[in-house]
């Protein structure tokens, strides 16, 4: 790519006044675990940060409901699909509320009014482009992944993710001409029009494109997924759940509906945030669908690292699934947000255990941030005559925002905790609490300076720990020390 083009892409990113960010839409086969809490939390941090930088933000999340795998669960529970989905989506929303997730819309793909017209409209576009044809699919299908596999995708004949043997199926399906778009997608990823972050994931998808893409089966017989979206003009078939799920990113904005103002305003997405497990769907199948329908491609795809627990992938059978709700109850929402933002690597896989969580909580929240707030505000309450008035414009936190604009969430947190360390050290070395006793004016100046810097820390924390940031700002406004520490040490 030429330097000029690179600069143009960067300028496009900075100048754009709108910011559209999405999470994956989750399967509603059980409650969300820590991995799901992770992706919604990092999206929330990026959404809040964009808003604080004056962007018009739209933050989408939701659930992927036209999947065959919930049929087993509802049969076991003797419930209807609708009843089950209602209960589960409410659980999702409760978790979001308990983590202060500032989403704008929770899309459910079972929503016949909101989502189905978009899925049908897009399908019709693929047909119009001549990219849908009927053929026989003979092969393997893993219901857990809702994915068609070949023998070479398996380990010992089993799906790598679910460790079960996929079903052998023989079906007459509609296929999508994915192969036709291989070169175009490769070019767009290579020249940065579709940015895949980090580079290791970009290289992984480029290697896949280099080997070439095969056409994919894009529908299933209705008897397998009776609650799926019917294929237009063929009542025997439903749209393959991944085709329907990916469309959520535009149907939520009104694509296919009369009122598509949100679509006109926010598409293309600035960033789809996903885990590496669904990279191929987002950086090969989704761009191909958009190219076929002559729609703009998302600007970037951020592929985050996965959370393992005790060295293993979280799984119910291993009993190592971490429930975010339990940690929120015991430690508070900001403690969980802190851990996910800073202690989990943004791009690499990380291991999470309760022991690690407690250690980080005590060291960096109870001792680090919490202690600093108590120390500074105690000095301020005891020695300042009135609250300090600070204007947001006095702060220079552009470096912090730059890190977040580059999706470096962990580094952005390190930057804040570096400032916390500097303030701690200053108090220790300069001892303003002693100075103020011998020279009131100089001591007061030092304390006012500390309060101002603490305010800047709170401004940065706005996107990461919104609740704590608000508490710190209120204490500063009232010139009061907290009655109880912001984070109480846990043994």
Which residue from 19, 47, 60, 64 is in contact with ligand ME8, where contact means CB under 6 A? Answer: 64
Rule CB under 6 A: is residue 36 a binding residue for ligand ME8?
A: yes
Residue span 274-313 as binding mask against ligand ME8, x where in contact by CB under 6 A, dash where not: xx-xx---------------------------xx------
Rule CB under 6 A: is residue 62 a binding residue for ligand ME8?
A: no
Sheet strands (E) in 89-164: 105-108, 132-142, 147-149
Catalytic residue among 17, 112, 294, 316: 316
Rule CB under 6 A: is residue 246 a binding residue for ligand ME8?
A: yes
- Least spacing, CB of residue 62 vs ligand ME8, in Å: 9
Q: Which is nearer to ligand ME8, 273 or 472 (CB)?
A: 273
Per CB under 6 A, the segment of 241-249, 333-341, 379-387, 390-398 that binds ligand ME8 is 241-249
Which residue from 19, 24, 47, 397 is in contact with ligand ME8, where contact means CB under 6 A? Answer: 24
Per CB under 6 A, the segment of 22-30, 87-95, 414-422, 440-448 that binds ligand ME8 is 22-30
- Least spacing, CB of residue 27 vs ligand ME8, in Å: 4
Q: Is 413 a catalytic residue?
A: no
Q: Which is nearer to ligand ME8, 19 or 26 (CB)?
A: 26
- Least spacing, CB of residue 299 vs ligand ME8, in Å: 17
Residues binding ligand ME8: what is the number (CB under 6 A)?
A: 19
Rule CB under 6 A: is residue 314 a binding residue for ligand ME8?
A: yes
Q: Is 411 a catalytic residue?
A: no
The Cα–Cα gap between 381 and 387 comes to 9
Per CB under 6 A, the segment of 242-250, 403-411, 413-421, 448-456 that binds ligand ME8 is 242-250
Q: Which is nearer to ligand ME8, 256 or 368 (CB)?
A: 256
The Cα–Cα gap between 378 and 369 comes to 14
Rule CB under 6 A: is residue 228 a binding residue for ligand ME8?
A: no
Contact of 190 with 206, CB cutoff 8 Å: yes
Residue 228 host element (H or E): none
Q: Is 115 a catalytic residue?
A: no
- Least spacing, CB of residue 85 vs ligand ME8, in Å: 13
Q: Which is nearer to ligand ME8, 269 or 328 (CB)?
A: 269
Rule CB under 6 A: is residue 39 a binding residue for ligand ME8?
A: yes
Rule CB under 6 A: is residue 324 a binding residue for ligand ME8?
A: no
Rule CB under 6 A: is residue 46 a binding residue for ligand ME8?
A: no
Q: Is 316 a catalytic residue?
A: yes
Would you tell me which residues interact with ligand ME8 (CB under 6 A)?
A: 24-27, 35-36, 38-39, 64, 245-246, 248, 274-275, 277-278, 306-307, 314
| Residue positions annotated with a catalytic role | 33, 36, 142, 145, 159, 162, 313, 316
């Amino acid at each position: 790519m030429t330097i000029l083009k690179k600069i143009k892409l960067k300028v496009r990113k900075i100048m754009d006044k709108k910011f559209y960010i999405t999470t994956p839409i989750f399967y509603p086969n059980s409650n969300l675990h820590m991995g799901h809490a992770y992706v919604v939390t990092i999206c929330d941090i990026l959404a809040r940060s964009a808003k604080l930088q004056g962007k018009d933000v739209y933050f989408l999340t939701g659930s992927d409901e036209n999947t065959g795998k919930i049929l087993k669960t509802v049969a076991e529970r003797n419930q209807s699909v609708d009843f089950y989905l209602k209960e589960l989506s409410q659980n999702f929303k409760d978790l979001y509320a308990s983590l202060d997730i500032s989403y704008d819309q929770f899309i459910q793909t079972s929503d016949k009014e909101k989502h189905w017209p978009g899925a049908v409209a897009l399908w019709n576009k693929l047909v119009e482009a001549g990219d849908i044809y009927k053929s026989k699919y003979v092969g393997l299908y893993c219901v857990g992944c809702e994915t068609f596999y070949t023998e070479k995708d398996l380990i010992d004949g089993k799906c790598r993710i679910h460790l079960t043997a996929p079903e052998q199926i023989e079906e007459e399906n509609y296929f999508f001409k994915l192969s036709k778009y291989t070169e175009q997608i490769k070019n767009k990823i290579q020249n940065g029009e579709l940015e895949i972050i980090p580079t290791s994931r970009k290289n992984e998808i480029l290697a896949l494109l280099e080997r070439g893409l095969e056409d994919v089966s894009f529908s299933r017989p209705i008897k397998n997924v009776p609650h799926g979206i019917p294929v237009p003009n063929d009542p025997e078939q439903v749209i393959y759940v991944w085709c329907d799920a990916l469309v959520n990113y535009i149907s939520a904005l009104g694509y296919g509906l009369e009122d598509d103002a949100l679509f006109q305003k926010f598409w293309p997405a600035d960033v789809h945030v996903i885990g590496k497990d669904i990279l191929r769907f987002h950086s090969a199948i989704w761009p191909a669908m958009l190219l076929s329908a002559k729609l703009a491609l998302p600007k970037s795809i951020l592929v985050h690292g996965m959370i393992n627990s005790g060295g293993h992938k979280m799984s119910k059978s291993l009993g190592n699934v971490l429930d975010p709700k339990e940690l929120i109850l015991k430690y508070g929402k900001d403690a969980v947000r802190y851990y996910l933002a800073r202690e989990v690597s943004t791009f690499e896989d990380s291991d999470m255990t309760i022991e690690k969580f407690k250690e980080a909580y005590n060291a960096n929240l109870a001792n680090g941030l919490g202690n600093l707030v108590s120390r500074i505000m105690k000095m301020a309450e005891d020695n300042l005559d009135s609250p300090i008035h600070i204007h947001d414009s006095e702060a220079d936190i552009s470096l912090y925002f730059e890190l977040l604009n580059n999706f470096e969430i962990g580094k952005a947190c390190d930057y804040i905790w570096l400032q916390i360390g500097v303030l701690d050290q200053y108090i220790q070395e300069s001892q303003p609490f002693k100075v103020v006793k011998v020279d009131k004016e100089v001591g007061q100046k030092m304390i006012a300076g500390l309060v101002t810097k603490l305010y800047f820390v709170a401004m940065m924390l706005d996107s990461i720990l919104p609740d704590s940031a608000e508490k710190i700002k209120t204490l500063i406004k009232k010139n009061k020390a907290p009655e109880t520490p912001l984070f109480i040490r846990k043994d």
